[in-house]
Amino acid sequence: MAEIDIFVGIPSYNNEKTIGFVVEQVDKGLNEYFPGMKALIVDSDGGSSDGTKQAFEAVETEAEKQFVLYKNPIPGKGSAFKEIWEMGLLKGAKYFVVVDSDLRSIRPEWIKKMVSPLEKGTDYCTPYYSRHKYDGTITNQICFPSTYGLFCQNIRQPIGGDFSFSARLADFWLKKGDWASNVAKFGIDIFMTSNAVLNGFEIKQVFLGSKVHDAKDPAGNLKPMFEQVVGTLFGIVTSEREKWTGLNEVKEIEVLGKNGFVEPQDLSVSADKMLENFRKGKEEQAGNWKDVLSEKVFAEVSSADKETIESDLWSKIVFDCVSSFKGNEDKVIDALIPLWLGRNYSFVQETIDLGNEEAEKKIIEQGKLFFKNRNYLVEKIK
Ligand SMILES: Nc1nc2c(ncn2[C@@H]2O[C@H](COP(=O)(O)OP(=O)(O)OP(=O)(O)O)[C@@H](O)[C@H]2O)c(=O)[nH]1
Ligand SMILES: [Mg+2]
């Protein structure tokens, strides 16, 4: 028997208020649904200055647990995952689960839902939640439509944070990752999903209800996260182009356990600030926009009375940015941020009167549009 059957990793950095609840729910799930299995819960921490360690250790659990400070010198969520994979593989773990430490909506059933498919041979489970229409702005406007339209798999939450996977996939990622890059930071989720998709691993989505966590306003300080996630994605789209440019059909990925729409966490975003940032971008980023975007797209977004970015235009902006990315990484990210805020502003306008479920349909349509327009990018990066 393997030393450890189920290895649950929790990345943390100053999560003293929320990590205790997460550990409690994980432990309940392990006992209730997998009583015969040997489990280990590991908090992989980035040197928290608050009481995260104490909060983690204070929870009484049936499963063994351990607090570790990760060794990779780059601070970030990816470094925390690297440690989890190395530790788990060393201990002969069969099944891995990772969950965020700022979760409020995790329940014991999550463990069952995430581990069961692995027992049947699935390599990777991505989460499927009901989210507020304005939560997940990088997911909705960039990662989902790119995974759908370019990598051709219908995975709704490619960077959802709460995943489960086989040891063989953990080993694959560990060897493949550049641990001095943004993969060591928030680039980790899109790195994981893109590489699982592009290398033939069997994937399922698991319905987890709603995601309640410390959600962030996109007009706030999302820049570092944006740079890490989008930079990682564009790098993969470019370097792995021979793996996806020839695809001509989107593969549906089964969603396990979906039972209707759950009302998600409430959230308010500052649409005015998004528009203000887009307007500012027209002045401050004019030079970068000119360098990065095609002539036609540049003319459209720079015109003074253009205050919206519809899906079609948005797909071309993203594709222009991907094709200019190599060698101009910083410039492309700087150029794209105000355009992304403009797209988010437009999305708010398009969906202001819609419920979360109706707004969701617009996101799916945009994924389909990225697929329809994909040759625009394929032609540019051939
Ligand atoms: N060890 C470590 N963990 C981190 C670091 N940054 C974030 N994390 C953890 O990674 C998880 C996700 O981070 P969040 O800040 O909640 O980001 P998110 O939920 O993906 O993004 P939003 O949707 O924007 O809220 C949490 O469990 C964090 O504690 C870090 O620098 N080091
Ligand atoms: Mg979070």
Task: Point out the least confidently predicted range of 143-157, 184-198, 256-270, 319-333.
Answer: 256-270
What's the pLDDT score for residue 274? 93
Residue closest by Cα to atom 29 of ligand 1 = 12
- Sequence-ordered list of residues with C-beta below 8 angstroms from that of 296, at least 6 positions apart, any chain: none
Between 2 and 296, where is the model more confident? 296
Q: What is the pLDDT of residue 360?
A: 93
**pTM higher than the cut 0.85:** yes
Give Dmax over CA atoms of the chain in angstroms: 67
Query: From CA 258, how far away is CA 261, in angstroms rounded?
Result: 8
Does the CB atom of residue 78 touch ligand 1 within 6 A?
no
Of 191, 225, 256, the residue that ends a domain is 256
pLDDT at 266: 77
- Cα 315 to Cα 54: distance, rounded to the nearest angstrom: 46
Inside any domain, residue 69: yes
Is residue 128 located within the same domain as residue 215? Answer: yes
Q: How high is the pLDDT of residue 251?
A: 98
Residue type, 36: G
pLDDT of residue 109: 97
* Rounded alpha-carbon distances, angstroms, from residue 360 to 58, 141, 144, 280: 40, 12, 12, 29
Q: Are residues 276 and 250 part of one domain?
A: no
Per-residue pLDDT at 131: 87
pLDDT digits (tens, 9 = 90+) for 286-324: 999 999 999 999 999 999 899 999 999 999 999 999 999
Q: Tell whether 143 and 286 lie within a shared domain.
A: no
- Is the domain of 174 the same as that of 302? no
Amino acid 2: pLDDT: 56
Cross-strand bridge partners of residue 163: 98
pLDDT for the residue 269: 82
Q: Can you state the angle between helices 311-324 and 295-302, rounded to 10 degrees?
A: 130
359/280 same-domain check: yes
Mean pLDDT of 146-155: 98
Q: Which of 274, 245, 232 is nearest to 143 (CA)?
A: 232
**Angle in degrees, 0-180, between the axes of helices 356-372 and 311-324, rounded to the nearest 10:** 50
Q: From ligand 2's centre to the CA of 262, what distance in Å?
A: 19
Q: Residue 27 burial (CB < 10 Å; 0-12/13-18/19+)?
A: buried
Please report which ligand is nearest the Cα atom of 131.
Answer: 1
Q: What is the pLDDT of residue 214?
A: 80
- State residue 36's pLDDT score: 94
- Residue 266 counted as domain residue: no
17-32: average pLDDT: 98
In this predicted structure, the answer to whether residue 285 has a pLDDT above a threshold of 60 is: yes
So what's the pLDDT on residue 217? 66
**Alpha helix (H) ranges present in the chain?**
19-33, 52-58, 77-90, 108-119, 137-138, 144-149, 167-176, 188-198, 223-239, 241-244, 271-284, 286-292, 295-302, 311-324, 329-351, 356-372, 374-381
Judge whether 208 lies within some domain.
yes
Closest-CA residue, ligand 1 atom 25, reads: 215
Mean pLDDT (the chain, rounded): 95
100 plus 209 within the same structural domain: yes
In the predicted structure, residue 79 carries a pLDDT above the cut 90: yes
Q: Are residues 275 and 249 in the same domain?
A: no
* Section 273-288 average pLDDT: 95
The verdict on residue 265 lying in a domain is no
pLDDT tens across 208-265, in order? 998 888 866 666 677 899 999 999 999 999 999 999 999 999 999 999 998 776 777 7
The atom of ligand 1 lying closest to the CA of 45 is 1
Structural contact between residues 343 and 370, judged by C-beta atoms closer than 8 angstroms: no
Q: What is the mean pLDDT of residues 130-141?
A: 92
> Which domain, by its residues, includes 314?
271-381
Q: Which of 202, 228, 256 is the last residue of a domain?
A: 256
Which single residue is written with the structure tokens 């009375």? 305
Cα(228) to centroid of ligand 1, in Å?
Answer: 12
Q: Which two tokens stand for residue 253?
A: 């990925």
Residue 1 lies in a domain: no
Mutate to test the pocket of ligand 1, among 10, 12, 71 (most ligand atoms within 8 A of CB): 12
> Which of 225, 256, 287 is at the close of a domain?
256
**pLDDT (tens digit, 9 = 90+) per residue, 35-54?**
999 999 999 999 999 999 99
**Is there a domain that residue 264 lies in?**
no
pLDDT for residue 80? 98
Label residue 246 exposed, middle or buried (CB < 10 Å: 0-12, 13-18, 19+): exposed
369 and 278 in a common domain: yes
Which pLDDT belongs to residue 47? 97
Task: Write down the pLDDT at residue 130.
Answer: 87
Number of structural domains (the chain) is 2
Residues 150 and 196 in one domain: yes
Determine the distance separating the centroid of ligand 1 and the alpha carbon of 100, expressed in angstroms.
Answer: 7
Query: Does residue 90 carry a pLDDT above 80?
Result: yes
For residue 183, what is the DSSP state?
A: G
Indicate whether 247 and 280 sit together in one domain. no
